[in-house]
Amino acid sequence: MADTKRLDSRRMGEMPEGKLLLQMAVPMMLSMLVQALYNVVDSIYVAQVSEDCLSALSLAFPAQNILIGLGTGTGVGVSTLVARSLGRRDTEEAGRVGGTAIFLSLCCWALMALFGVFLAKPFIYSQTDIESIRGYADSYLQIVTIGSLFVYLEICVERLLQATGQTRLSMWTQMIGAVTNIVLDPVFIFGWLGLPAMGTAGAAIATVIGQAVGAGVGWLFHVRRNRELPIHFRQIRPYGRLIRDIYVIGIPSILMMCIGSLTNYMMNRILIGFTSTAIAVYGAYFKIQSFFFMPVFGINNGLIPIIGYNYGARKQDRIYRSFRWGVFYACCFMLLGFALFQLMPGVLLGVFKPTQTMLAIGIPALRRLSVSFLFAGFCIVAGSTCQALDRSIYSFFISILRQLVVLVPAAWLLSKTGDVNMVWWSFPIAELMSLAASAFFLRRSFKHMEFVLSCEQKDE
């Protein structure tokens, strides 16, 4: 069949870059928007129960972010290695990468399940002494961590589909899982159909079921349609070399997510010093901003395999053009988000049934926080480009600089003014520093790429 039918992945080395990136990214952007929608729906529903429930989700978010980070960071390495293998026409190696990815998904689940059993309660209790918030957050976090097997398998099959250009199937995998979650949320949260009302625990149960459905659908798509990447049972095992290569690329992403979680944890501790409402605002902001950041991450997910494929195929000019298109599309989304946050912050917060206190804190917060959008589009695309070019460590340095060196210390210092509105300025300050660092490290990544490709050409 390979002699009579062009492999789908080859378009990554031939199609015009702007059109290719849209074709790769739009399905992922749509599916990620649905993901953002179900995250917001979770918060909207629990906000109807109480503001404490909304605050509870914010306290659980740092650990949940690590959970997702383990999967997505592993997925970055997997999709990059699969794309490179296919760029070299090595389908056997690509299959071994896929088998290793499934094995690593099981390992990630075991790690997070242990966290849920032994550490979820201490983690929540370290952030607040308000008993009602503690109870809501602890039950939610235990359920999503112990049931995390399905989210890791879902992420795994999505990345295998994306790496071969099957982004529409990846989109349907995410969308079906997300829609399942959205439909089940009110059933478990409010106790419909004769079930008891379970609040945040119900939101967690709906999340796990949605992830299980998404994982099942994704695997079905892979088996039936992803014929470029056959994975045999014998390949589902730990290949030491491949694990090393996956995490050379993926560990910076995982560490960046961990740093992000640490930052959120520390921000929660800073904000609780003012009022628990500030934490609710902070959580609501993250839900709303995901509608603009998720499409940019979708662009990244489309861009990484394109750059990885063309790096393996030694097509330098296509890498540069693909990067420029990625920055253009990302900045368009960020500008749209900035405009909406500036013009209608009250409307955006309105979906969370805010109190007057929450609006008083939240409206200026959203306007200040959204200033960081002006720089974020370039920074996100630059970081993913460094990862695709084997310079993942640069993204890690940028993340440390932005969050631990600048953001948290700035927030702590601004909190000393006694005005919570001043704390929000720490985000634009940190993003501006990230912009300068991203430009510097991106230039170094491109120079390294040019050197590697020129050496390979000489060897030939």
426: left (phi over 0), alpha (psi -120 to 50) or beta: alpha
Q: Which range among 27-41, 248-262, 340-354 has the greatest average pLDDT? A: 340-354
Distance CA 357, CA 368 (A): 17
pLDDT range class, residue 7, cuts 50, 70, 90: very low
3-state secondary structure 161-204: HHHCCCHHHHHHHHHHHHHHHHHHHHHHHHCCCCCCCCHHHHHH
Task: Tell whether pTM > 0.85.
Answer: no
Least confident piece of the model among 39-43, 75-79, 341-345, 434-438 = 39-43
- pLDDT of residue 359 exceeding 60: yes
The helices-and-strands tally (H runs, E runs) of the chain is: 18, 0
- pLDDT of residue 240 exceeding 90: no
- pLDDT of residue 455 exceeding 70: yes
- pLDDT of residue 6 exceeding 50: no
Distance CA 296, CA 331 (A): 8
Share of the chain above pLDDT 90, in %: 49
Rounded mean pLDDT of the chain? Answer: 88
Number of C-beta neighbours around residue 272 at 10 A: 18
Q: pLDDT tens for residues 250-260?
A: 887 788 788 88
- 71 against 229, higher pLDDT: 71
- pLDDT of residue 28 exceeding 80: no
- pLDDT of residue 111 exceeding 90: yes
For 397-401, what is the mean pLDDT? 87
Please report the pLDDT score of residue 19 as a whole number. Answer: 83
For 190-200, what is the mean pLDDT? 92
Distance CA 97, CA 91 (A): 10
Least confident piece of the model among 27-36, 54-63, 136-145, 402-411 = 27-36
Please report the pLDDT score of residue 4 as a whole number. Answer: 32
Number of C-beta neighbours around residue 326 at 10 A: 29
- 257 against 205, higher pLDDT: 205
Distance CA 301, CA 159 (A): 9
pLDDT range class, residue 458, cuts 50, 70, 90: low
Please report the pLDDT score of residue 5 as a whole number. Answer: 36
3-class DSSP state of 368:
helix
Please report the pLDDT score of residue 9 as a whole number. Answer: 55
Number of C-beta neighbours around residue 29 at 10 A: 23
Distance CA 378, CA 375 (A): 6
- pLDDT of residue 176 exceeding 80: yes
